[in-house]
Amino acid sequence: MRLLTVFSPFLRHFRPHWPRLLLGTLAAAAAMTAAVGLLALAGWFLAAAAIAGLGAGTARAFNIALPSVGIRLFAFTRIAARYAERLLAHDATFRILKTLRVRFYEALEPLAPACLLPYRSGDILSRLVSDIDALDNLYVRIVSPAVSALVIIAGLVGFLGLFDALLAAAAGGILTAAAAAVPWAAFAAAMEPGRRLAEEGAELRAGIIEGLQGVTELIVFGALPRHLEECRGRHLRLLRLQQRVSRVRGLSSAGITALAGSAVGVVLLIGIGLVESGALAGEFLACLVLAVWTAFEAAAPLSHAFQQLGRTRQAAERIYAITSLAPAVRFPETAPDPPDGFDVAFEKIRFAYPPGGVPALEGVDLLLAQGRRTALVGETGCGKSTLVHLLARHWDPDEGCIRIGGRDVREFTQAQLRRTMTVISQQAHIFNATLAANLRIAAPAAEEAALWHALEAVHLAGLVRSLPEGLDTWVGEGGRRLSGGEARRLALARAVLHDAPVWVLDEPTEGLDKITEAAVIQGLLEHAGKRTLLIITHRLIDFHRLDQVAFMEKGRIEAVGSHAELIRTDGGYLRLFRRMA
């Protein structure tokens, strides 16, 4: 029952593919039945031909053609059914895995970033790829072989029952033990190492990915040997677990072979008695022995599959641990009327993460009037970036509300909110693509002239023109072929392209020298036009060109006014300004 509970969230994705699954299962059962029939008929045919050949009269009377046709029919049926089973079952399985990956990503997307902070990117990738791959055991290696085994057991018992009830009961009982008891014993023995196998494999993959992402830092600080040793330790633990599972596989295979031999021995023991008593023709003894021996082929795959069930179960639990998370925010399905303007108001905002912890924001009130340009300044850790996360609805405030044009942002649909604002975070991601492709993330239909216009605004056009491939230059993973300042300006160019009425730029000039910083700020202010602009910074920029400055300290807005006013009236802002200078 516990297994059914674990797998039930995934089994519902089988429903759209049930025709292929059913046909694949029937084809597998037909292939196994044809294999048993082929060996059984071939055994009877050889024994009957040998017996008939003992006398000239019986040899001439023996019908060779009919059994030969039956053998060929079974052989062709087995080949065709096995091909159909592979085609249908694997096609259905790949479709199911595709569906699971799409559903996993659809469940993942609304969780970002709030609910995914505890997880490493390598671990999430492992769940998306390896753990979902492990779920192919459910059908290909468990459901389909189990149904085939049931068909073979029922068919064999019925066939043997035509000759002798005791023979049918004995062989059927041993075959049932091979198809049920041995796999469950293998499952029990391999469950713990299988579970740990999933965990260690995920840890190893995550460690390797982190090592590749941070290889430069590892080399610079001499930590690469230590990291490689940690990965080597995980790999050795993984090998030891695989060895434990392999030992279980070997023992279960030996158990099935022993049971198959026992079944053959029982059939021979009972069958010889039947032959001696005249209740069974001698040529049928070979038929029964080979039928029983071949039937055990149906039990062999189950043992291996159930060994992997612990790994599959752990994979299912790891996937469900992500997909069952409730998003930190939920967007409405229907869009309200457009907001009345694009002023942004933070009203009595209180927020702590984790919930119940020390507040990161406490009673924040701030108005960003439409068309005005505001700088939000303060020491690192005072809560500036948290305000950005709340405005973008990565989280919702614990108390208070945020309004755009007088409308609570919680009333906006996700698409409507994203069209309303452009948010450039401190860690804006640069994709492993061309410069043009990175820019068109903000405006997929943008023409080349618009791309150049955006680059001009952030003073990056000259550099791009000097590159041999221009806009088609590949920037590398994470923008590694760009400097930190160039990558930052590329992210800012997206804001220009997005053309939203509200701009929120978090540390827009991080990594820029003073001259470039001044030029970029000037370009952004010119292109902001009548947009509502919020610049969050702890750096000294041209505050005189802004309409207002909000000074933040320890999660509170301490003062709002022009730069000159705050210099005169607020000692905390004056001290901060002097440190920035």
Residue range 53-74, pLDDT digits in tens: 666 656 566 677 788 888 899 9
**In which residue are the tokens 């049918």 written?**
168
Q: Is 186's pLDDT higher than 90?
A: no
pLDDT tens figures, 313-325: 888 888 888 888 8
Quick one: what percent of the chain has pLDDT higher than 90?
29
Place of tokens 């064999």: 156
Q: What is the pLDDT of residue 56?
A: 61
Q: What pLDDT, on the 0 to 100 scale, is given for residue 465?
A: 93
Give the per-residue pLDDT at 581. Answer: 63
CATH superfamily of 10-323: ABC transporter type 1, transmembrane domain (1.20.1560.10)
Q: Which of 5-19, 273-287, 420-434, 552-566 has the lowest mean pLDDT?
A: 5-19
pLDDT score recorded for residue 60: 64
Q: Which of 80-89, 412-421, 516-525 has the lowest mean pLDDT?
A: 516-525
What's the pLDDT at 1?
Answer: 42
- What distance in Å separates the CA atoms of residue 369 and residue 197, rounded to the nearest whole number? 56
Same fold for the pair 10-323 and 344-580: no
Name the burial class of residue 357, with classes exposed (0-12), middle (13-18) and buried (19+) by CB atoms within 10 angstroms of its CB: exposed
Q: What is the mean predicted confidence (pLDDT) over 175-201? A: 85
Structure tokens given for 509 = 């000039």
φ, ψ of residue 387 in degrees (nearest 5)? -60, -40
Question: Do the Cβ atoms of 368 and 550 come closer than 8 Å?
Answer: no
Which tokens belong to 167?
A: 């023979």
Q: pLDDT by residue (tens digit) across 356-387? A: 778 889 999 999 999 899 999 988 888 888 99
Average pLDDT over residues 15-19: 84
> Using one digit for the tens of pLDDT, what is the confidence trace for 81-100?
999 988 988 888 888 888 88
* pTM of the entire predicted model: 0.75
The Cβ of residue 455 has, within 10 Å, a number of other Cβ atoms equal to 24
Return the top range by mean pLDDT from 122-131, 272-281, 399-408: 399-408
- Is the per-residue pLDDT at 472 higher than 90? yes
pLDDT digits (tens, 9 = 90+) for 490-519: 999 998 898 899 999 988 888 788 888 888
Report whether the peptide linkage leading into residue 113 is cis, meaning its omega lies within 30 degrees of zero.
yes
What's the average model confidence in pLDDT over 9-16? 80
| pLDDT tier at 440, thresholds 50, 70, 90 | very high
Average pLDDT estimate for 169-192: 88
Per-domain boundaries in the chain: 10-323, 344-580
At the top level of CATH, which class does the domain 344-580 belong to? alpha beta
Confidence category of residue 122, pLDDT binned at 50, 70, 90: confident
Please say if the pLDDT value at position 460 is more than 60: yes
Nearest alpha carbon to residue 179 among 215, 209, 228, 142: 142
* Across 546-573, average pLDDT: 87
CB-CB contact of 350 with 367 (8 Å): no
Classify the C-alpha dihedral 265-270-273-275 as positive or negative.
Answer: negative
229: pLDDT confidence band, cut at 50, 70 and 90? very high
